[in-house]
Amino acid sequence: STARPWWRDAVVYQVYVKSFADGDGDGTGDLDGLASRLDHLERLGVDALWLSPCYPSPGRDGGYDIADYFSIDPLYGGTAALDRLVKAAHDRSLKVLLDIVPNHCSAEHPWFQQALNSPAGSSQRALFHFHDGQGADGELPPNNWQSVFGGSAWTRTTDPDGSPGQWYLHLFDSWQPDLNWDRPEVRAHFQDMLRHWFDKGVDGFRIDVAAMLVKADGLPDRPDNGFRPGGSDPASNQPAVHDIYRSWRAVTEEYADRDLMLVGEIWAPTAEHVTAFIRPGELHEAFYFDLMTQNWDAAAFRASVQRALQAMAATAPVPDQAGVLAWVLNSHDAHRAVSRYGLTTAEPLESPDAMARLLRRRGPVDVAVGQARARAALLFQLALPGAAFLYQGEELGLPEVMDIPDEARQDPIWTRSAGREHGRDGCRVPLPWNASAPSFGFSPANAAGKPWLPQPLWFADYAQDRQSTDPHSTLNFYRSALTARRALFAGAPDQITWADHEQPRPDVLIFTRGTLTVVTVFGDAPFHLSEELGHVTLASTTISNRVLPGSSTAWLIRNS
Ligand code: TEU
């Protein structure tokens, strides 16, 4: 019938626009800066770019607090700069995805400002979750829900006469009031937003906290002390949230000739909760974060992949009609893989957020070990059936920046946790393009502004221009890996088979997919590849005499 849609095996590169490249010299990355660096992305070999939010925003949460969903912030070059970027990207056959943040808006959004200035019970307040407090004077929050960033998920407002008023719900920062998805105006606003940007040539959206939009009737207390519980949770994964995505899928299908794509950021307690979002008629892709939360451990990786593929098989008995999983090992919310896999001893992180405890543990890091494991993990990720998402800077092998001065930190997690958690700034430091002071080529040489987060001196060692000409660099490794994925896995079957008979060691995973065999060594001891496994096409490290060293992955073409 029709050709296989591009997104089914796409490699998507996440651009954290603020930190990618600064075109105008104010110290903040922008869309013209990004457009000037498309050579890098084309040569890397990705299929699409996902831009973290660049709409008008007070920037309390890196732009995930949107004040206007229908334009681009002048800080990033305004809407005209997006038009230029989309055109330049399409000229190079790169798709462009934007971020859509439907769970909450900014406290500066006109809707919220109007709600604050309107009485309890008004239609303006009904667009959010305004409720009276508990206790004799309403001095206690309406329920026990906790913010993902720490503290209560409720903030009390003040009435015009100065007396304490109602409370409003914010599952994230207090500057991010949750919208009420029971209201038709809210639903219409976001459908309009989708069409607005599709009409401007955008190819799809990444949907922020996609599982949380619909809350259970009456907002009952959450179990587990009100914080991101598993199983049945009144604040997420409500069955009715799926109706929203069926309606959005229908919007994409109004553009029959365009092959548009929606990928959900789904934090969910089980793999079945995740794959429920990519049933036929729902989203095209859903992030599978479970793999990202695993330690560098063969059994843990295998079990995680197995959970995902079993859930997929149950969800999609006819795979072509369902969406695909989006595998992800790095993002703007987690410590970089080099530092996660290179931890030598992990200090326990004091946070109620289990995800934070898994993804942002601190401790001494062996960077060389972390880099070897991250390369091996990349080849493992790229061999899995579905889409793969990369996060800017991983192609340079960047470790997490752990030593940002406290006064420079910007993440609301840092403030809301009163410094117990350092938060997510360490993976958001502006990229090093060359080894020159003062900004490693992030800003133009004569720039007036300093990079919005300070860059450590050791960023010079990771400069993109040096890596580009060094055949052994992480960057050239990524280029080869993406080229090989395109050549070898295009049209490969979605099934993988664990080659248990080939697996004499518990620290080695072997699976086959079509004519390829993928061997990953998690431990330190070298692994001898038998001739029956076939010819090595790509390995995450140099191998000789068919000996794969520790912390590496090889792709092999089966001998016919
Ligand atoms: O993140 C949703 C989310 O729940 C986590 O990624 C969270 O940021 C982290 O685990 C806290 O421990 C999305 C965005 O990716 C994130 O950057 C935003 O801050 C958040 O939504 C709010 O919009």
Q: What are the residues whose beta carbons fall under 8 Å from the beta carbon of 174, sequence distance 6 or more?
A: 107, 147, 155
The ipTM of this complex is: 0.97
Decide: 239 and 262 in contact? Cβ < 8 Å.
no
Residue 204: both structure tokens together: 């799809």
Which of 209, 236, 288, 351 for mutating ligand 1's site (highest number of atoms within 8 Å of CB)?
209
Six token digits for residue 468: 């580009």
How high is the pLDDT of residue 21?
98
Q: Which atom of ligand 1 is nearest to the CA of 355?
A: 10
Q: Which pLDDT score is estimated for 307? A: 97
In angstroms, what is the span from residue 125 Cα to ligand 1's centroid?
25
Using an 8 Å Cβ cutoff, are 288 and 274 in contact? yes
CB 541 within 8 A of CB 372: yes
The tens digit of pLDDT for each residue in 100-133 reads 999 999 999 999 999 999 999 999 999 999 999 9
Contact by Cβ (8 Å): 170, 156: no
**Nearest alpha carbon to residue 301 among 390, 395, 383:** 383
Ligand 1 midpoint to CA 333 (Å)? 6
pLDDT < 70 positions in the chain: 1-2, 503
Residue of 333, 349, 416, 422 with the most ligand 1 atoms within 8 Å of its CB, for mutation: 333
pLDDT over 90 percentage in the chain: 90
Widest CA span in the chain: 82
Would you tell me the crossing angle of helices 241-253 and 184-199 to the nearest 10 degrees? 30
pLDDT of residue 1: 43
* Domains, the chain, with CATH or none: 6-105+183-474 (3.20.20.80), 110-169 (3.90.400.10), 496-557 (2.60.40.1180)
CA distance 439 to 22: 10
Which segments within 244-296 are labelled E, that is strand? 261-264, 285-288
Convert the pLDDT of each residue in 335-361 to its tens digit.
999 999 999 987 877 888 888 889 999
Residue 496 tokens read as: 């993988």
Copy the structure tokens of residue 191: 């459908």
